[in-house]
Amino acid sequence: MVVKSPPVNKGIAERSFVVEAPRERVWHLIGKVIFSSLPGMEKVEILDESNFRALLRMKVSLAELSMKLRGEIVDMSPPDSFAVKLALEGPGGLFRMDQKVTMVLTSVERGRTVVACKATAERMGILFRKLLLGQARRFARSTFEAIEKRLQDLA
């Protein structure tokens, strides 16, 4: 019998930054930038225009875990916003978390774009919450920082 944890909707990380490029240019770049900014992602497989899967390697204390990652692009409204639902599962299914990452692009003066990133946990197993939530927060923050840097370099 599998016991599902209740929805949690817990904030993991948020970041907003300005890119010196029009929103349409940022929209065009953001997909490639996201995949190139994810540390520890391996064996990325694009299943179709909205779904992918990969392995995510992360260090927890002295151990290295290999997590299964499934992603689905949802709520897409080009060139304004999109969200990605992520499902993470650790070895043997012991660690599970469903996450939603939202990106909103807003045009501002002189062809600049504000990018607002937000990651929330929608469902989390008790073991994940106790052992890996801090790691998930650090991963999301560093990913958002890498996305910002890469977009600013390419814009």
Give the number of domains in the chain. Answer: 1
Q: Which residues contact 41 (CB under 8 A, 6 or more apart)?
A: 35, 54, 55, 56, 69
Looking at the domain assignment, is residue 142 inside a domain? yes
Burial class of 110 by CB neighbour count within 10 A (0 to 12, 13 to 18, 19+): exposed
Confirm whether 1 is domain-assigned.
no
What proportion of the chain, given as a percentage, has pLDDT over 90?
A: 55
Mean pLDDT of 134-151: 90
Q: Is the residue at 2 inside a domain? A: no
* Secondary structure of residue 147 in the 3-state scheme: helix
Higher pLDDT, 86 or 38: 86
Does residue 118 have a pLDDT over 90?
yes
Q: Is the pLDDT of residue 132 over 80?
A: no
In the predicted structure, residue 64 carries a pLDDT above the cut 90: no
The mean pLDDT value for 52-68 works out to: 83
Instruction: Find the domain containing 83 and state its range.
Output: 7-154
> 108 in a domain, yes or no?
yes
98 part of a folded domain: yes
pTM for this predicted structure: 0.84
Question: 40 lies in a domain?
Answer: yes
Domain harbouring 24, CATH code: 3.30.530.20
